[in-house]
Amino acid sequence: MANDIAKGAIEPGCAKIDPILVADNVTRTFGGNKAVDVAHLEIPRGKITALIGPNGAGKTTLFNLLTGFDKPNTGSWSFAGKDLAGVAPNKVARLGMVRTFQLTKALSLLTVIDNMRLGAQNNPGESFLKSLFKPLWVKQEQEITERADVLLKRFKLDAKREDYAAALSGGQRKLLEMARALMSEPKLVMLDEPMAGVNPALTQSLLEHIKGLKANGTTVLFVEHDMHMVRHISDWVVVMAEGKIVAEGEPDVVMKNPAVIDAYLGAHANTDLGTVSIETVKDGE
């Protein structure tokens, strides 16, 4: 496969032909520990990018920084040409960059369908004054509900429509959170361990959903420990270790990179990558 992502040589922090997210010199220190120290990173538009790395590599912290949930010590980054440094998380989401959380944040005591409806943007009924006059928002609300029902069906949550999210299993909550994030029709969706806790029977369909997102023109960036998933669906892999980007490239190439094997797999370097990943996930839980 010819490389249609990177511009020039493939190396950590390399330039992309069409980047949607560009980060420069982003650092975050906790105490004396530099959790994130990213010199340069570009995420290609319309592709599926995996962010991998051992536990504590700073992947989730980087997610938090890029989406405004945490403030970096230094750095600047832009999304679709807009400078995002210091922008509040809700505004980041409104710009079309929506994330999910590693520890699922389903809104437990709202029904599944209400969770979904809340994911939609620009609902006039969500403004205080307009909410008082139902005719001003009832049409929009119907459209949102229809869209939510389609997504629920696709994620096999339609049977749970009227249940409280608290009644869902861990894997179903993960699905709900992802479906809810999609309600806003984001340009870039950032998934933090979308597969963790999801029933293997659902894994395949979830992978298809993510591929489907790409087909619709959505850019996907995800953190994952499951190497099967990384290999199967990602177009590009970025590897972090100790806060830094240590490698990037196409999945098959990156998996063979000695720096990656060293950083990520350590002692298991000689074992088959696929089986190791499963053990690693188990150790991590």
Partner 1 sequence: MDLTQILLLPLSQFFAATTAAYVLCALGIALHFGYTGLLNFGQAAFAAVGGYAFAIADKYLGFGLFGSLLFAIACAVVYAFILGIPTLRLRADYLAIVTIAAAETFRFVMISGQLGSWSGGSEGIDAWGKDFYDLNPIPSAVYNVFGIPLTERQLWADIVGWAVVVVCAVLMVVLTRSPWGRALKGIREDEDAVRSLGKNVFGYKMQSLILGGVFGALGGVVFSLNSQTVQPTVFGTNFTFMSWTLLLLGGAATVLGPIVGGVVFFVIFLFLQNLLMGLQGAGVLPFITSDQAAQIPFVLMGITLMLLVIFRPQGFFGNKKESQING
Residue number, 116 or 255, with CB nearest to partner 1: 116
**Cα dihedral: 155, 158, 164, 168 (round 10):** -50
Between residue 113 and residue 142, which ones bind partner 1 under the rule CB under 8 A?
114-115, 117-119, 121, 123, 125-128, 131-132, 134, 137, 141
Is residue 165 within 8 A of residue 74, CB to CB? The reply is no
Letter string b/e over residues 94-117, b meaning 16 or more CB atoms within 10 A of that residue's CB: ebbbbbbbeebebbeeebbbbbbb
| 169 contributes a contact to partner 1 by CB under 8 A | no
- Mind giving me the DSSP string for 219-245? EEEEE---HHHHHHH-SEEEEEETTEE
What is the x/- site pattern for partner 1, positions 59-98, by CB under 8 A? Answer: --------x-x------------------xxxx-xx---x
Between residue 4 and residue 23, which ones bind partner 1 under the rule CB under 8 A?
none
Shortest distance in whole angstroms from residue 48 CB to partner 1: 20
| 107 contributes a contact to partner 1 by CB under 8 A | yes
Residue number, 190 or 265, with CB nearest to partner 1: 190
256-260 long-range contacts (CB < 8 A, ≥24 apart) are: none
Shortest distance in whole angstroms from residue 281 CB to partner 1: 24
Among 184, 218, 234, 277, binds partner 1 (CB under 8 A): 184
| CA-based nearest residue to 177, from 93, 103, 92, 104 | 104
Strands 48-52 and 219-223: parallel
| 152 contributes a contact to partner 1 by CB under 8 A | no
User: Near partner 1 by CB under 8 A, which window of 174-182, 195-203, 226-234, 236-244?
Assistant: 174-182
